[in-house]
A and B are shown apart, each in its own frame.
Chain A
Amino acid sequence: MPEKVIGIDLGTTNSCVAVLEGISATVIANRGGYKTTPSVVAMSETGKRLVGHIAKRQAVTNAENTAYAVKRLIGRPWTSPAVQAVKAAVPYGLCEGPHQDVRIKMRDQLFSPPEISAYILQEMRAIAEEFLGQSVTKAVVTVPAYFNDGQRQATKDAGRIAGLDVIRIINEPTAAALAYGFGRDVEGKVAVFDLGGGTFDVSLLDINNGVFEVVATAGDTFLGGEDYDKRLVDWLVQGFAKEHRVDLRSDAMALQRLKDAAEKAKCDLSSVRETEINLPFIISTGKNQAYHLHRVVTRGKLEELTLDLTERTIQICRLTMEDAGIKPRDLAEVVLVGGMTRMPKVQELVAEFFSREPCKGVHPDEVVAMGAAIQGAALIDAAAAPDMLLLDVTPHSLGIMVAGGYFHRLIERNTTVPTSKSHVFTTVRDDQTSVKIVVFQGEAERAEENELLGEFVLSGLRKAAKGEVEVDVTFEISADGIVGVSARDMETGTEQHITVTATSGLTEAEIELMASENQEFLVSSRAEEEVEKERQRIEKLVHEAEALLPKVEEVLSGTPFGQDSLDNVRLILDDARAAVERRDAAALEQVAEPLVRTLNMFRGVVDSARLRPS
């Protein structure tokens, strides 16, 4: 069976996995029948790792040990404003890692963001493997268009920790456009409006000859479906407080139920005009009485409660379009991405702003994963997507710092890779014998406002007046995204070179260790499950044997060998009880056979006694 490549939309709030079957991409449902899985990881009281729906369903009651929206942290340094903003907003612990990166604290254990993301990727992989009935090792994973090299590398590292070879990282808006078949039947400018569970992004793509260029991208990493849910929860809490003078927020269990119900009601209201929220026995009165929450919520009420949020997304679109100098009439299509775009009010405002009906052919929360699956299949088998050109672009500009601290771009963003570009620089001081090449990535005019990738010194230059000595600087980006920078003294030919590999904040040794620990965890989890299964089996046998024992004692009491046999049997039962108590795999294995033999003997004795005439 040929190996399949899966496409994974690793979202801030939900993730989705798809695979190309025949000529169309199939989104794979998880065990609960849902096609998206919450990007939530938790550690239970017993140290068990919970991923997906199950983790989400306990996120409020076990808030300190439930990591969510880790995508906001991945590949970012500890000092970044985004990390500090997340720290202020989440109930789980964050601290600085050994390489100025971020670590997440759950149950006294520290996890790096790529590790947590790996657990989600692993879950998506398991969903795909169960569906396909075969092992999956290759994946295409999507990231937001604004992700820098470090964040992309961290996502790749997450794949490695999960045992996946991430053969390509692609931009989410590009994946959405691919799923719609753009690049084949649609060329020109496309707007991708992505309102997910936790973030909002708008991207303007220019599609030409199979190249998907992100012309502009903007958004709000703290605006998404969860904010809509929160408004509904607030409304329910206030209404309940008014009626009963009880604050439901003070009870974690009540709040968890409210959040679940609010999210469901919000989703229902995309297809119906009103829905009921019915939460019986939401809280106790303390006098053996129960309070029930019962409320009818209309679509209009939800729209009223959340109108400012929806309007904020439109405002971001307006600014982005203005910055890019693009007018709505310049657009060939508008694509909706993210579950929140199912909300009729969102669709209405988007259509109004862009002066056109957005594309609705593909489910908005599945479209990105489908695009990734299409790209994945094309990467390993060109016949799978014959019309698709597979050209990657650099997401950010690359260049060096020049006199005055300015940033000189050598490779502009959205340049297709592989690529190479050279530029000749001259010395800026008299008798300057060395130059320091400081490599940056970004779009800011001031070099230091961009991301530092590396630096090196080219020395041994001829002493001369400023501007006389020329140094040729060359940037090369390979198809794998590895950046090489070299500087050559044009007179002497002396050359220095560095290779810039994006880092996620984790060292190679750390990634390997995490990957092997993760593998061990999976193996031991399976082994523990087996032991627990065996323990339950043995316990059941012990119960059965114990229930039969009095009758057997009665029957054997008169026989000459009875006492010896019973003593032996009691020892076997003692051993079995001890093994069950200790949950010891070896001991359980050891007692299983004699226990089964004993039970068979008991059954035989009891049966023969029953048949014996009284």
Chain B
Amino acid sequence: MQDDLRKARELIQRGLDHYARGRLREAAQAWQDATVLAPKDSRARSLLAFARARVKERDTRPASYAGRDTVESPIPGFLASLTAVEADEDAGHASLQDSGEWAQVDTRRVLGGTGETSARVASEQDDADTWRELPTQTDRLQASARGLVDECDSALKEGRVDSASLAAELALQLGEQSSPSAVGGIGDPTRRLFERAFCACIGDMKCTPIRAIPAEELATHGFDNRAAFLMSRMDGTITAGELLDIAGMPRFDALRLMAALRRAQAVDMVPVGPI
């Protein structure tokens, strides 16, 4: 009995490692073996149900699908485009267009570009029509930050949770990379908005996050060792809500990092109980 439980735990871990390396069938097999040894282990059952659903999903995918969605972050290029003195109007767009779902963030709104969405930004900035016409870089950065906040709010309302979360991330990075006087601090309402965006992106806090890429690859996706630490806590038992409690960093930072991992598809969420 004791040995069975121990072996089941090892199989669950082995399955998690397989899953992180994209070996879905091997993961499913390990979790199935775990359920045989520990039939009452709800964790093993949930993981197995999740893996089976993913296998089915993969098997029914069109042949043209080229594997895992890109996890390349457009953020550095995008921010560079915002902070460059001689920025090209299309720079933000270009860096986003190549990266799948990231492109859902409406950069025209953020950059104060053309079209319907930019009208609101323009009206908030008196008579400025595009960021090119703003008098200083500080004004431009402030407008961009406001645009990102608006985009976050709108995307959240429209249910585009990844976009909302990305807009929040971009706004935060913009603030961090600019001088404090340029963008100013985040007020409580904005912080709460961003928190909601990150939470929505993460999903149900009762779900169990599991690694979907090996921790070794995190650096190539622009993550730091804090992300590796967070992923090292994902043992197939701890829920997303619990993970925030043990993240070793302020809750807001943990939410932000978890949302980034979700957007980068570095982490998947396993629902509690059979799917």
Contacts and interface: CB of A to CB of B under 8 A. Distances in A.
Interface size class of chain A, counting residues whose CB lies under 8 Å from the partner chain: 35 or more
Interface string A49-62: 01001100110111
A290 B216 contact: yes
Contacts of B9: 32-34
A413 to B, nearest CB: 36
Interface string B158-190: 110100000000000000000000000000000
Given A279-B232, A547-B159, A54 B225 contact: no
B contact patch SS: helix
Contacts of A46: 245, 251
Contact of B245 (A54, A544, A547): A54
Interface stretch (A187-195, A249-257, A317-325): A249-257
Contact of A289 (B215, B219, B228): B219
6 contacts: A58-B248, A252-B248, A253-B229, A281-B215, A366-B2, A546-B158
Contacts of A423: none
A110 interface: no
A544 B160 CA distance: 10
A53 B156 CA distance: 35
Contact of A35 (B2, B192, B218): B2
A165 interface: no
Contacts of B214: 280
Contact of B233 (A33, A48, A57): A57
A7 B215 CA distance: 41
A581 B191 CA distance: 12
A363 interface: yes
Contacts of A257: 229, 232
Interface of B: 2, 5, 8-9, 38, 41, 43, 156-159, 161, 192, 196, 200, 204-205, 214-216, 218-219, 222, 224-229, 232-233, 235, 237-238, 242, 245-251
Given A32-B235, A44-B246, A46-B245, 7 more contacts: A33-B41, A45-B250, A58-B248, A251-B225, A257-B232, A536-B204, A539-B200
Contact of A284 (B215, B224, B245): B224
A33 B38 contact: yes
Contacts of B242: 54
A282 B228 contact: yes
Nearest to A267: B6
Interface in A23-42: 29, 31-35
A281 B158 CA distance: 37
A109 interface: no
B14 to A, nearest CB: 13
Nearest to A577: B157
A57 B238 contact: yes
A49 to B, nearest CB: 10
Contacts of A466: none
A543 interface: yes
Interface in A271-305: 279-284, 288-290, 292
Nearest to A63: B248
B248 A256 contact: yes
B219 A288 contact: yes
Interface in A47-83: 48, 50, 53-54, 57-58, 60-62
A547 B196 CA distance: 16
A532 B205 CA distance: 10
B4 to A, nearest CB: 10
A234 B224 CA distance: 24
Contacts of B2: 35, 363, 366
Interface string A572-599: 0000000001000000000000000000
A56 B224 CA distance: 23
Contact of A281 (B8, B38, B218, B233): B218
A559 to B, nearest CB: 24
Interface centre among A33, A254, A280, A532 (most CB of B within 10 A): A33
B39 to A, nearest CB: 12
A257 B229 CA distance: 7
A280 B237 contact: no
Given A282-B225, A547-B159, A290 B219 contact: yes
A143 B245 CA distance: 31
Interface centre among A289, A539, A543 (most CB of B within 10 A): A543
A533 to B, nearest CB: 8
Contacts of B235: 32
Closest 3 CB pairs of A and B: A61-B248, A281-B228, A58-B246
Contact of B8 (A33, A288, A289): A33
A532 B229 CA distance: 27
A256 B248 CA distance: 10
Contacts of A284: 219, 224-225
Interface in A431-486: none
Nearest to B249: A61
Nearest to B231: A281
Given A54-B245, A54-B246, A283 B219 contact: no
A582 to B, nearest CB: 10
B70 to A, nearest CB: 18
Contacts of B192: 581
A54 B215 CA distance: 21
B260 to A, nearest CB: 15
